Amino acid sequence: TKGSPEQIAYMQCIEQDFTLSTEKLEEIKNHFKSEMVKGLDNEGQTLAMIPSYVEGRLTGEEKGHYLALDLGGTNLRVVLVTLEGNGKFKTVSTKARVSEELKTGRMRDLCDYIADCIDTFLAQQNLDNVTEELPLGFTFSFPVLQSKINRGVLLQWTKGFSCSGAVGKDPVLLLQDALLRKHVPVKVTALVNDTVGTLLSNAYQKPATLAGLILGTGSNGAYIENMSKIGKWKDGKTTSDEMIINMEFGAFDNERTVLPLTRFDNKLDRKSINPHKQIFEKLISGMYLGDIVRNVVTDMMDRNLLFNDTQQHTEIISAHYAFETAFMSSIEADGTVDLGVTREVLDTNLNLVNVKDEELRIIKRLVELVGTRAARLAAMSIAAIVEHTQVEEQGVDIGIDGSLYEFYPSFEERMYEALEVLLPQFKDVRRSIRLGLARDGSGVGAALTACVADRMM
Ligand code: ADP
């Protein structure tokens, strides 16, 4: 059974809407490249291209004890990173919950709490009586306008935080104050962006690293740029002729000039908490992919093309974000002839029972289309960075963090396939553009940022 003529006709249109031809992908890549240049030359562009103040490269021979602090989610994390050289390191860490009270109270109380957590952790590690202050890299995952490697101002709170006495102030100074008050021997030497941290954590083990990407709940990229190409740089002489740029590429093409958005993408955007923003991110990241599939499935339901002659319980799948991207991973991994795994996913998570074989096949195909489009677009951003920086045949490493890259079956393979068509100038793309999992940008990466900051002093 191949489905009804109506189903087949509908799916033919969907195949067209979601398939990115090589020509289209190239057009997008070229636009991405010109947006990179615009963002490097001017403030306030769609690709923000933010200078990170992280200057120069790592060799992998950096050594010493560094602390990392990660604030921005449910938990606060403190990590002690011991860099041993030769790309090797050890970590020990601790986590503490950030209560609602702390998230919405006074910033001074939050900083005191953080200082206490660090103090307790140092005591556990027998590091509370050191003669020299330990350098700390602070991953503060909120919108910050940075002015130095260890200076910035909080523009606004997000993600449920709303402490008073913080907006418009420097989170580094506020935390340092608390550490001083409590005599904790720690110096906050770097304010860290997690994507920049991802790049650095990859670079410590692979010094030929050019870029870091995050493909998780959201998405972003960072890469190493020549100072001479950062036309908008006004902060004077640097210690190196290279600096990491935080691209903030989730916002790419917010003006919708080149991305082939379908009506399903438009619907997702309209119903999101940030309409017209992060348009590229909405095509490629974990928070959204499942919902794009869900939008097609519900459209087919509305047209009586799915689940129409069985008594289905469709309340669950009708709810916003009910179809998780992790379900797509399970469905993609389903290699059974009767699509038993797909059937199980729909039954267990969405209460869809007795789904017909041809319906299972349609849903699996929808998942493949949405997942493949995402992987190809993510690869497009890498191809643009590679061409912009004129990478040569000997190649570069690209560090990628995030569940989508780590767990989604064939995501990496599909990225390589897209790189092959986008970068024909490389004889063997897989050897020249080496993708790899880069874990813990906010731990190891933040510690490495503190290490670079030390070097810049
Ligand atoms: P974060 O980006 O928040 O630091 P992750 O990298 O783990 O964390 O990304 C979480 C996102 O990845 C969520 O949006 C979730 O839907 C998605 N996700 C979680 N597990 C999987 C999986 N197995 N396959 C694909 N996506 C997943």
Give ipTM to 2 decimals. 0.98
Q: Is 265 a catalytic residue?
A: no
Give residue 353 CA to ligand 1 midpoint distance, Å.
26
Contact at 8 Å (CB) between 202 and 436? yes
Contact at 8 Å (CB) between 58 and 240? no
**Does some domain include residue 307?**
no
Q: How far is CA 61 from CA 85, 89, 171, 284, in A?
A: 4, 10, 30, 35
**Does some domain include residue 155?**
yes
Contact at 8 Å (CB) between 239 and 56? yes
Q: At 143, is the pLDDT very low, low, confident or very high (cuts 50, 70, 90)? A: confident
Reported as a single tens digit per residue, the pLDDT across 181-228 is 999 999 999 999 999 999 999 999 999 999 999 999 999 999 999 999
Mutate to test the pocket of ligand 1, among 272, 403, 407 (most ligand atoms within 8 A of CB): 403
For ligand 1, atom 15, name the residue with the nearest CA. 286
Q: What is the pTM of this model?
A: 0.95
**Does some domain include residue 77?**
yes
**Does some domain include residue 348?**
no
**Does some domain include residue 157?**
yes
Q: How far is CA 251 from CA 274, 280, 419, in A?
A: 11, 6, 22
**Does some domain include residue 186?**
yes
Reported as a single tens digit per residue, the pLDDT across 55-102 is 999 999 999 999 999 998 778 999 999 999 999 999 999 999 999 999
Reported as a single tens digit per residue, the pLDDT across 397-454 is 999 999 999 999 999 999 999 999 999 999 999 999 999 999 899 999 999 999 999 9
Reported as a single tens digit per residue, the pLDDT across 325-350 is 999 999 999 999 999 999 999 999 99
Give residue 199 CA to ligand 1 midpoint distance, Å.
19
Reported as a single tens digit per residue, the pLDDT across 275-323 is 999 999 999 999 999 999 999 999 999 999 999 876 788 899 999 999 9
**Does some domain include residue 306?**
no
394 has a pLDDT exceeding 70: yes
Give residue 422 CA to ligand 1 midpoint distance, Å.
27
Q: At 1, is the pLDDT very low, low, confident or very high (cuts 50, 70, 90)? A: low
Helical H runs in 256-356? 263-271, 281-284, 289-302, 325-332, 340-350
**Does some domain include residue 165?**
yes
> Considering its fold, how many domains does the chain have in total?
1
Helical H runs in 42-188? 100-104, 107-124, 171-181
Q: Is 397 in the pocket of ligand 1 (CB under 6 A)?
A: no
Q: Is 38 a catalytic residue?
A: no
Say what the pLDDT of residue 310 is.
63
Expressed as residue numbers, the domain containing 179 is: 59-195+441-456
Q: Which of 112, 170, 194, 397 is catalytic?
A: 194
Mean predicted lDDT score pLDDT of the chain: 96
* CA distance from start to end of the chain: 69
Mutate to test the pocket of ligand 1, among 217, 292, 410 (most ligand atoms within 8 A of CB): 217
Say what the pLDDT of residue 308 is.
85
- Which CATH number fits the domain that encloses residue 140? 3.30.420.40
